[in-house]
Amino acid sequence: MNHFLSIRDLKQSEAVALVRRAHEMKTSGFRSDLLAGKTLALIFEKASTRTRTSFEVAIRHLGGQTMFMTPRDSQLGRSEPLKDTARVLSRFVDGLVIRTFGQEKLEEFVQYGSIPVINALTDEYHPCQIMSDLLTMYERTPDFADLVVAWVGDGNNMAHSWINAAVYFPFQLNIAVPKGYEPDQAIFERASEMGAKIWITHDPREAVEGAHYINTDVWASMGQEEEQKKREKAFAGFQVNGDMLALADASCKVLHCLPAHRGEEIIEEVLEGPQSLVWDQAENRLHMQKAILEWVYTS
């Protein structure tokens, strides 16, 4: 039985194969009955548009059914231990797609449950999003070997998953973060020891120089709203705008996992401009979700 809690749950060959498989699924309009007779519970402690919709549609494209749960709909928001919830749900449904805060919650579901668990986002990792972003890149530049990918913003769950991806895919990853907002040192060191080409700087202009892809995210994620003003000050100069794009490769494309705060981490003209891939990127969540589900239930 497979779980997908982070990109590290894959072998390198599996990560590469997932990107190719998702591309095949997209181009063929793939449907199957792989999940026929199965029900997957989507447990979301954080709000979502793209993640929820893409997973619900993906599961149905594979013949399955979904049940959506929030803390208001279950004991998750009350006093029942997670290990009890995990054991009970394992007797009712055939898989869990969980969007929550702490990565340790997913690990507890895996420890005490007996069904596959998929990480739909935690504070530590967002693996489904990054795998979808890799698909978006693959559609335009299938050979990653000479690519420079820049991450501009917070050293958050997105940055962590990009770091994990850099272990398996041969691009150069430049990470630009303000001082005090660096990615987890252990995650960075582990990836570097495994051969990932990663460079961390506090100067976004250095990170984007010659980049083929620039990625960003909101400065204050869900649960960090009280830090908004502090972060606006810390992230001044990290906005993806025309001046920043002028430093990148002439063919540079822009990625943003959405939702976007126009005028903060990215300007309207870039988000809506010809170098933006954000809408293809959003669509690709659906196709990558199908590939991940297929891997979980067939490998």
Start-end of H helices in the chain: 12-28, 50-61, 82-89, 103-112, 127-140, 157-168, 185-193, 204-208, 228-234, 242-245, 268-271, 278-298
| 217 marked among binding-site residues | yes
Angle between helices 12-28 and 278-298 (to 10 degrees): 120
DSSP H or E stretch at residue 11: none
Instruction: Provide the annotated active-site residues.
Output: 99, 126, 129, 217, 257, 285
Please write the tens of the pLDDT for every residue from 246-284: 999 999 999 999 999 999 999 999 999 999 999 999 999
Give the pLDDT band of residue 1 (cuts 50, 70, 90): confident
Domains along the chain? 3-125+282-298 (3.40.50.1370), 129-278 (3.40.50.1370)
Residue 66: per-residue pLDDT = 98
| 27 marked among binding-site residues | no
| pLDDT of 220 above 90 | no
| 51 marked among binding-site residues | yes
| 129 marked among binding-site residues | yes
Please write the tens of the pLDDT for every residue from 144-171: 999 999 999 999 999 999 999 999 999 9
| 157 marked among binding-site residues | yes
